[in-house]
Structure 1
Amino acid sequence: MTELLIAGVLALLGIAAAALLGPKVRVASPLVLVALGIAVSFLPFVPAVRVEPELILAGVLPPLLYSASVSMPAMNFRREFAAISGLSIVLVIASSVVLGLFFAWVIPGLGLWWGIALGAIVSPTDAVATSIVKRSPVSSRAVAILEGESLLNDATALVLLRTAIAGAAAAVSVWGTIGGFVFAVVIAAALGFAVGRLNLFVRARIPNATVGTVISFTVPFLASIPAELLGASGLVAAVVAGLVTGRLAPRMLSPQSRQSDAQNWSTVEMVLEGAVFLLMGLELSSIVGDVGQEQEGIAPTLLIALGALLLTVLVRAAYVAPLLRGLARRAARTAKMKPRLTVMQERLADPTAAVERAAANPTDWYRPSPELERGGVDAGRPSRPKPGAGRGDDDGVLRAELSERARRRIRRRVSRRRTPTVADMTRFTTRVTRTLADIDYLVQAPLGWREGGVVVWAGMRGAVTVAAAQTLPADTPNRSLLVLVAFAVAALSLLIQGGTLPLVIRLLKLTPTDPLLAHAERERIFTLLSDVTMAEHAAALEGAGVNDGPAPGDAAALEATTGGVPTHPATTPKQDALALIAAKRTALLDARDDGTFNADTLDAVLRALDAEQVALQLQGDPDR
């Protein structure tokens, strides 16, 4: 027991030292830990280290992925979902098949199914790349894609691994495999959503932030364990629970609870991630020893691993290139929709008037007036569509030239519907606003070949690869060799790609975010907050029946007379300040849900509001 405690203390000190040393030597701390583990594993007095793979897959990965998903902006995840799902599913399957053919060719007697199993093991990327990329001037879109990919591709790889192992023992139905995968994802997503909402429902009723944080430590397991028992993906369940928690926590949990979660989960994430990479290095000597007893040497194994690593990069590049072209076409296509959507947004500014127009003209109420079409955004548009016009539009009702048949179809469909209410118009306005924000997001941060190069080179392997390799059955052909190949691919990927990623980013000369855009966005946020302050001030005056005081919209006068906080005769200044903070937070969260502002900028402002509220609440009794 004493030796185990000493080992644990030394491991924690090593993780802390790597976190401090890594930035000084410009090497990611996980790489330092892998190298440290490899060096320690060959010391003569250090025993062979073997870790149960289930400990990593069921005990470490769910909280790690949950922690990452909580901090990921859900809006960015939604916007990049097509790219994320493609990289997480299509690319993993393609890489597994290509690598399976390669392994079956270079390893005698392996067979295609076992080759695909090994390909599935080395296909998923690791989240360590994101920590490196975030410190560099890389597009936020590229970071979001890499983050989302690392959250979901593990589940695809593990499902494919189970399928390949089953296929090696018996015939496997393609449709059965697809059905099993869909079942695993859908059930896991439903469980994760339910657990995430239940977590927030319970914690919103617990005032003690420390107790709430302790409960949060159980959430990834409450999502993953039932999912695994039902045959679904526990990792997907943990990710969905994290996304739900991250999106709704600012509305449902107190700032103290969220600050406690952020601090404690940051510590847990550092310890778990560091332990995984340290164990990767420590397991090397035992894995090499097993292969040395069964094979002629490790040199052929390293050559196979290098070939596999090269193939993973080539397959990834072959997939990312057309992906970027598709994203560019999508951005260009949606940009053409912006003028009409802008007009639609203006026409929906008054929901009551929009309802009246809809009742009077059910099919064309959302369209610009003929005068506006002639002199505004639709000026010069031909009266009849050209062949193929409008092809590929995301929303057919937004095309300028609808055929007469389409118009009749819309009239028949609309005639069967009820007239929209003000609430319907408000929801539709929100959708239009969100779509416009999505268009700005795609247009302002295009993904070119430089960003594509980062996405390709950042696809490194890590802990999941090593853990999944050790789940191979004992009767697997050349099992020790396959485990060492997987370990070598992960280690070489971390050392080569991870070690050179900062250099690659510098060589690509990525264009930094325009500071003028960032400044303009901050100004818009401050304008929104100022509008909220004035609205609260006007509401306070109206509630008190007071007609004097600063005029509505006069933020400078309000700042001079009340310190920027609306006052009400029935409340204390402290209560007024807390109410104002709550109103500002609600406005910012509404803007976040609409996608109006950059997620990172908005998060910084929300954290500042949280700190301001905590400082006020620490001043004592709210009635004083």
Structure 2
Amino acid sequence: MNNLYQLKIIILLLTAVLALTTVARKLAIPYPILLVVGGLILSFVPGLPTIRLDPDLIFLVFLPPLLWAAAYFTSWRDFRANARPITLLAVGLVLVTTAAVACVAHTVLPGLGWAGAIVLGAIVSPPDAVSATAILKQLHLPRRGISILEGESLVNDATALVLYRTALVAAVSGTFELNVTLMDFFLAATMGIAVGFVVGIVSRWALSLTEDSFSEIAVTLLAPYIAWVLAEQAHASAVLACVVGGLYIRQHFSAIVAPITRIQARAVWDLLVFILNGIIFILIGLQLDTLRDAIPSSELALLTVNGLLVSATAIVVRLIWVPVAAWVPRFLSPSLRARDPMPPWSNLFILGWAGMRGIVSLAAALALPLTTAAGIPFPFRAEIILIAFMVILVTLVLQGLSLPLLIRSLDLNEDSNIEHEERHARERAAMAALARLDDVAAEDWSVPDHIEQLRVHYAHRLQRYVDIETPDTKCTKVAAEAFRRLRHETLTAERLAVIDLRDDGVISDDILHRLEHELDVEALRIGVGELRVSSERRSKKP
């Protein structure tokens, strides 16, 4: 019966996730925010079961694939190009935020020692990779800003967790050694990077051995968990292990698997990340029910105020640090100032405002031990957890909900070379195809006419992208959009015709699926993969 009860809880959570996500898309707001709010509302519904979030479940089940996926979809080129601001945010800002929050917490919570205050600071200092990728990918930010925020969120967890564990040891045992802390930090980071590389290399080797797409997808699903477990066994940074492994596999995945594997793997991973993200964010909101039971009602109002003070401290410190960290290196290095001018204030403000905390902070707070080494209760444990929850709630809802409005109202400096890079890539691809046709033309082909047809096809495509920047070009954005609409109509006609053949019993479902898949791939290629067949078209024969 217990298993059936747990299954009912999972079904209830997934149903709530799907419903709230649908509402969020209708309202055009990032779905993680509505899921957190929905979880908060559900926590007040009488009769609903109390769901306690196990931190081990977060660290061992949820985080490995989510970090791996976030790293996989991060551009290594952009990550390297923005290594300086990423490091200043992922290391410098985490240290400064931890210190500032510790000072505020030590002041507003009389009796809280410095070790406990630093624990709280380390818990709430890092913006969350899961929150960042789930929210930012739905917003139209400049590409460099997204690269910096994603890179920061991937690395800062490692810094914060090392600080957290060090301060936790001091709080539990009452001892603290700075040189040991620094050594542990560098050893954990180095070992975590090494584990990530090893897992990435082995995964690449395993992918090259099999030609079965399902086995290849299974390798990608197992790799993050293997990286996490090996890093934990080696007392290394499991976060960095997953980040490095995901970045490494991303560089080689396109060359070692077939196209069908990439399409299927993307679908599997998109669904997995969506489900894990949805459950995580709604669980964050649901934790209010358990926190209310842990804190006396007479103390809730004061703790709420303290939580708001800590939240404001974390937000203000970031808003100050971002422009200072952008200005100081340029002030000290004239060559850097000439090579990389100071970004507009609007871009810096958005970068400073996008500091949403998330599941890592909550899991770290819930993982606090119940007692110290002396056997006494861990001081201010319930208060630390509630304040951490407040910071997560304020940053996710307040900052996350206001980001779309701020981005629309501010004149952000958009990257102008994105379309140029895409045109260049398409031009080079067409040139490579023409070169390959020249290479195979000398071979004995039974259908030489096909070579000429392909040569004409790629010559036309190359001409299209070479001429796109000329003043008299016909390939404007309007013309390109008109072509996509027309192609969508023809693909829709083909798809409906094949469906009618299946419905009339002329072809089997296997043939339908095969032809439908080809049409779907073509739709994705030309950029109409998200368009649906209208109800009017479905009711008519082609």
Same fold (TM over 0.5): yes
**Counterparts of 1:534 and 1:210, CA distance in 2:** 33
* Residues 57 and 468 in structure 1, CA contact (< 8 A), matched pair in contact too: no
Show the counterpart of 2:368.
Answer: 472
Show the counterpart of 2:402.
Answer: 500
* Residues 533 and 564 in structure 1, CA contact (< 8 A), matched pair in contact too: no
Show the counterpart of 2:433.
Answer: 533
State whether structure 2 residue 39 is matched by structure 1 residue 37. yes
State whether structure 2 residue 344 is matched by structure 1 residue 448. yes
Following TM superposition, by how much is the alpha carbon of 1:518 offset from its aligned partner in structure 2, in angstroms?
4.4
State whether structure 2 residue 492 is matched by structure 1 residue 488. no
State whether structure 2 residue 230 is matched by structure 1 residue 230. no
Show the counterpart of 1:114.
Answer: 116
SS of the residue aligned with 1:511?
coil
Following TM superposition, by how much is the alpha carbon of 1:335 offset from its aligned partner in structure 2, in angstroms?
8.9
Show the counterpart of 1:160.
Answer: 163
State whether structure 2 residue 5 is matched by structure 1 residue 13. no
Show the counterpart of 2:142.
Answer: 139
Change over 3 Å in CA distance of 1:46–1:191 after alignment to 2: same
Show the counterpart of 1:181.
Answer: 185
Show the counterpart of 1:197.
Answer: 201
State whether structure 2 residue 74 is matched by structure 1 residue 72. yes
* Residues 21 and 35 in structure 2, CA contact (< 8 A), matched pair in contact too: no
Higher mean alpha-carbon deviation, 4-13 vs 109-118, is at: 4-13
Following TM superposition, by how much is the alpha carbon of 1:524 offset from its aligned partner in structure 2, in angstroms?
2.5
Show the counterpart of 1:62.
Answer: 64
Identity of aligned residues (%): 30
* Residues 132 and 502 in structure 1, CA contact (< 8 A), matched pair in contact too: no
SS of the residue aligned with 1:231?
coil
Following TM superposition, by how much is the alpha carbon of 1:98 offset from its aligned partner in structure 2, in angstroms?
1.2
* Residues 329 and 336 in structure 2, CA contact (< 8 A), matched pair in contact too: no
* Residues 290 and 480 in structure 1, CA contact (< 8 A), matched pair in contact too: yes
Mapping 1:344-359, distance limit 5 Å = none
State whether structure 2 residue 96 is matched by structure 1 residue 94. yes
- Deviation digits for residues 447-466 of structure 1, max 9, x if unmatched? 32111111111101111111
Mapping 1:371-520, distance limit 5 Å = 447-474=343-370, 475-514=377-416, 517-520=417-420
Change over 3 Å in CA distance of 1:448–1:539 after alignment to 2: same
Change over 3 Å in CA distance of 1:509–1:180 after alignment to 2: same
Change over 3 Å in CA distance of 1:526–1:498 after alignment to 2: closer
**Counterparts of 2:348 and 2:137, CA distance in 1:** 15
SS of the residue aligned with 1:217?
helix
Following TM superposition, by how much is the alpha carbon of 1:145 offset from its aligned partner in structure 2, in angstroms?
0.8
- Specify which of 280, 286, 303 is matched with residue 284 of structure 2: 280
Following TM superposition, by how much is the alpha carbon of 1:54 offset from its aligned partner in structure 2, in angstroms?
1.3
Following TM superposition, by how much is the alpha carbon of 1:543 offset from its aligned partner in structure 2, in angstroms?
5.5
Aligned residues: 453
**Counterparts of 2:332 and 2:278, CA distance in 1:** 39
Change over 3 Å in CA distance of 1:8–1:558 after alignment to 2: same
* Residues 200 and 253 in structure 1, CA contact (< 8 A), matched pair in contact too: no
- State the structure with more CA Rg: 1
- Deviation digits for residues 522-558 of structure 1, max 9, x if unmatched? 442333223213322332345669xxx99xxxxxx98
* Residues 137 and 512 in structure 1, CA contact (< 8 A), matched pair in contact too: no
Change over 3 Å in CA distance of 1:288–1:519 after alignment to 2: closer
Show the counterpart of 1:82.
Answer: 84
Change over 3 Å in CA distance of 1:55–1:332 after alignment to 2: same
State whether structure 2 residue 180 is matched by structure 1 residue 151. no
* Residues 328 and 447 in structure 1, CA contact (< 8 A), matched pair in contact too: no
* Residues 193 and 240 in structure 1, CA contact (< 8 A), matched pair in contact too: yes
- Specify which of 214, 221, 224 is matched with residue 220 of structure 1: 224
**Counterparts of 2:98 and 2:104, CA distance in 1:** 10
Mapping 1:247-266, distance limit 5 Å = 247-266=251-270
* Residues 64 and 269 in structure 1, CA contact (< 8 A), matched pair in contact too: yes
Following TM superposition, by how much is the alpha carbon of 1:238 offset from its aligned partner in structure 2, in angstroms?
0.9
Runs of 5+ unmatched residues, structure 2: 371-376, 460-513, 522-542
Change over 3 Å in CA distance of 1:522–1:478 after alignment to 2: closer
Following TM superposition, by how much is the alpha carbon of 1:483 offset from its aligned partner in structure 2, in angstroms?
0.8
**Counterparts of 1:491 and 1:191, CA distance in 2:** 34
Following TM superposition, by how much is the alpha carbon of 1:324 offset from its aligned partner in structure 2, in angstroms?
2.0
Give the partner amino acid of 2:211: P
Give the partner amino acid of 1:454: I
TM-score, normalised via structure 1 length: 0.68
Following TM superposition, by how much is the alpha carbon of 1:477 offset from its aligned partner in structure 2, in angstroms?
0.9
* Residues 34 and 277 in structure 1, CA contact (< 8 A), matched pair in contact too: yes
Give the partner amino acid of 1:288: R
- Deviation digits for residues 352-391 of structure 1, max 9, x if unmatched? xxxxxxxxxxxxxxxxxxxxxxxxxxxxxxxxxxxxxxxx
Give the partner amino acid of 2:158: A
- Deviation digits for residues 41-81 of structure 1, max 9, x if unmatched? 22221232212211112221111101111111111111112
Runs of 5+ unmatched residues, structure 1: 337-438, 551-556, 567-610, 619-624
CA RMSD of aligned residues (A): 2.8
Give the partner amino acid of 2:346: R
Following TM superposition, by how much is the alpha carbon of 1:564 offset from its aligned partner in structure 2, in angstroms?
3.9
Higher mean alpha-carbon deviation, 317-326 vs 256-265, is at: 317-326
Change over 3 Å in CA distance of 1:26–1:520 after alignment to 2: closer
Give the partner amino acid of 2:166: T
- Normalized per residue, which structure has more helix? 2
Show the counterpart of 2:49.
Answer: 47
Show the counterpart of 1:375.
Answer: none
* Residues 558 and 564 in structure 1, CA contact (< 8 A), matched pair in contact too: no
Give the partner amino acid of 1:255: P
Point out 4+ residue stretches in structure 1 off by more than 6 angstroms.
329-332
- Specify which of 26, 29, 35 is matched with residue 27 of structure 1: 29
Following TM superposition, by how much is the alpha carbon of 1:215 offset from its aligned partner in structure 2, in angstroms?
2.2
SS of the residue aligned with 1:197?
helix
TM-score, normalised via structure 2 length: 0.78
* Residues 301 and 485 in structure 1, CA contact (< 8 A), matched pair in contact too: yes
Change over 3 Å in CA distance of 1:95–1:456 after alignment to 2: same
Give the partner amino acid of 1:509: D
Following TM superposition, by how much is the alpha carbon of 1:26 offset from its aligned partner in structure 2, in angstroms?
2.7
SS of the residue aligned with 1:204?
helix
